[in-house]
Chain A
């Protein structure tokens, strides 16, 4: 899958590039609105990561222009540090698929991209199997064999996020941000996520051992597949 990063901050673009390349994406860069426009005209992308504050124009204008193109299915994720309150609403109204305020976690970006892919193409199976546990992302259910496991919404989110970022340590703060969103001050006690993980593990281990669900001391969690 190919990604166009429209970002004037070179070092940030390079970091995103490195991460996504590592994940198997093909990455292209545009640093100005003009060059982004040219690239969008010429190529189809699976993802366009769009910064709103560009040196020669506003990201919204670029989005508007892109939306006028016919037969295009590129997913647009807005990445911005702009403080304007209604930017998020406006971005989604103008047709962006998602909106991530800076600073964002690359893990979170990847999770959102996965979610969009599933939503858009419906190519990937909606079921992921981890050590015999079937995770249905569409119905937000987890089952083992034929048995349904009752998870709370948050427990499901935690499991899903960890599975999406499999084989990678996910810190508690990162997990908290993902599950609870932007609730201010809540980050200050991210250890709270432990309670949920404890309950989640308990529920899963009733069916099969969960040694693949690893606690990384003082940092967070990792699912090894």
Chain B
């Protein structure tokens, strides 16, 4: 979730909580206060009633009906008197309750004071009630009001929060978008400062800029280094190999010396191959190749098949080309050739005599996938992990290897945005899947 929305969400939630809490407090205290007032009034009424009490009045009341209910026309309050079984009462105890009463066929909620008293050796039960409908109504009004205020305040604050945080975080998102997401080549980095009055963002911006500056410097240095290394190392190798070749022209050379010279030449070629492989990886990683060729995958596979024909024959390996799609990608043809060559060559190199290689393709979710499956020596998980690291070699006594073939594959694949999946089982074989993420 974006920071902006997180902030807005947090503000909204805290506001909801505050409004609910204060609303609740107001409702509860309102109830308490009004009940208190009503109780006071009921007590006064009871006292008045008890003061004006006479035998005559009681008998009159009781004679009138078995129970007596007196109420005003608005049914706001009522008094009820009942004679109950005698008990001796020394002090009059008031109990308060809230209950429903039906008075003159209308049901209402009442706050009720109940007390028993003795008069002329008789016990009477007195009930004085006062309606709390008004209080309930007030409560409902406040509830509704709170709800409306709540919704209104919420939407208002949400809106203002979003607008404010958007304004506040704009420089931050600018930094993220222009300086982090869109940067794929440090050489084209935009050092323009992002306008902001927020100190923290200024700091962030400055830090990213200075980091990028360092990376760019390193990049340029590496490019120069590559150019220099190639010249500075390859020229002496060239001199040495020429010198050795000239030495071989001397007819007086003993056979032993000749052998040593040839061995030295072989070593020089090996040195050259390593330098060239490393240079290739660096050049690919530094984007020094263009990517404008239309590369037809089946065509390259056929080419490689022809190139490797004799090797396949030599090891009696059957290569089955099951390619169904005429897939073409935009890329660098010679690099793609090197990538596929190295993979298929490995499938031959690390295969058993009489083994097989199957090249297959499919389209999964719109992504072209090329599969190279061999019945070779395979790798365990630890080996798979290390396979694409420079100078990492499979334990094999088969042939000399520099351990750079798969490192080259890795860098070329990354250059073309191809994912490589390796599934392998020791002594069973290896399945390599190339997922072409950029579809043409």
Chain A positions within 8 Å of B, measured between CB atoms, are 9, 11-12, 15-16, 18-19, 22, 53, 81-86, 101-107, 154, 168-169, 171, 173-174, 177, 180, 182-192, 195-196, 218-220
Contact B227 A19 (CB under 8 A): no
- A-B pair number, CB within 8 angstroms: 130
Known A105-B245, A185-B402, A188-B399; contact A171-B262, beta-carbon cutoff 8 A: yes
- What are 22 inter-chain pairs, A to B, with CB distance below 8 A? A9-B238, A11-B239, A15-B243, A18-B246, A22-B246, A83-B279, A103-B268, A103-B272, A106-B242, A168-B249, A169-B262, A183-B341, A184-B273, A185-B273, A185-B345, A185-B402, A185-B405, A188-B270, A189-B349, A190-B266, A192-B310, A195-B313
- Cβ-neighbour of B269 out of A15, A177, A185 (below 8 A): A177
- Cβ-neighbour of B230 out of A81, A168, A189, A195 (below 8 A): A81
Known A102-B235, A192-B311; contact A185-B246, beta-carbon cutoff 8 A: no
- By a CB distance below 8 angstroms, the chain A residues around B243 are 11, 15
Distance in Å from the Cβ of B437 to the closest Cβ of chain A? 24
Known A19-B246, A184-B280, A185-B401; contact A220-B234, beta-carbon cutoff 8 A: no
Interface size on B, residues (CB 8 A): 52
- Chain B binding site: helix, strand, loop or mixed by DSSP? helix
Known A106-B246, A184-B408; contact A12-B239, beta-carbon cutoff 8 A: yes
Contact A171 B266 (CB under 8 A): yes
Distance in Å from the Cβ of A214 to the closest Cβ of chain B? 13
- By a CB distance below 8 angstroms, the chain A residues around B405 are 184-185
Contact B289 A82 (CB under 8 A): no
- By a CB distance below 8 angstroms, the chain B residues around A173 are 265-266, 269
Contact B234 A102 (CB under 8 A): yes
B104 at interface, CB cutoff 8 A: no
- Cβ-neighbour of B241 out of A103, A191, A195 (below 8 A): A103
Contact A219 B262 (CB under 8 A): yes
Contact B310 A103 (CB under 8 A): no
- Cβ-neighbour of B338 out of A16, A19, A184, A188 (below 8 A): A184
Q: How far is the CA of A9 from the CA of B280 in the complex (A)?
A: 24
Q: How far is the CA of A211 from the CA of B237 in the complex (A)?
A: 35
Contact A185 B342 (CB under 8 A): yes
- Cβ-neighbour of A184 out of B239, B265, B276, B313 (below 8 A): B276
Q: How far is the CA of A81 from the CA of B230 in the complex (A)?
A: 6
Chain B 247-285, CB-CB to A under 8 Å as 1, else 0, gives 011000000001100100110111011001101100100
Distance in Å from the Cβ of B432 to the closest Cβ of chain A? 16
Q: How far is the CA of A188 from the CA of B310 in the complex (A)?
A: 16
Q: How far is the CA of A106 from the CA of B245 in the complex (A)?
A: 7
Distance in Å from the Cβ of A96 to the closest Cβ of chain B? 18
- By a CB distance below 8 angstroms, the chain B residues around A102 are 234-235, 237-238
- By a CB distance below 8 angstroms, the chain A residues around B345 are 185-186
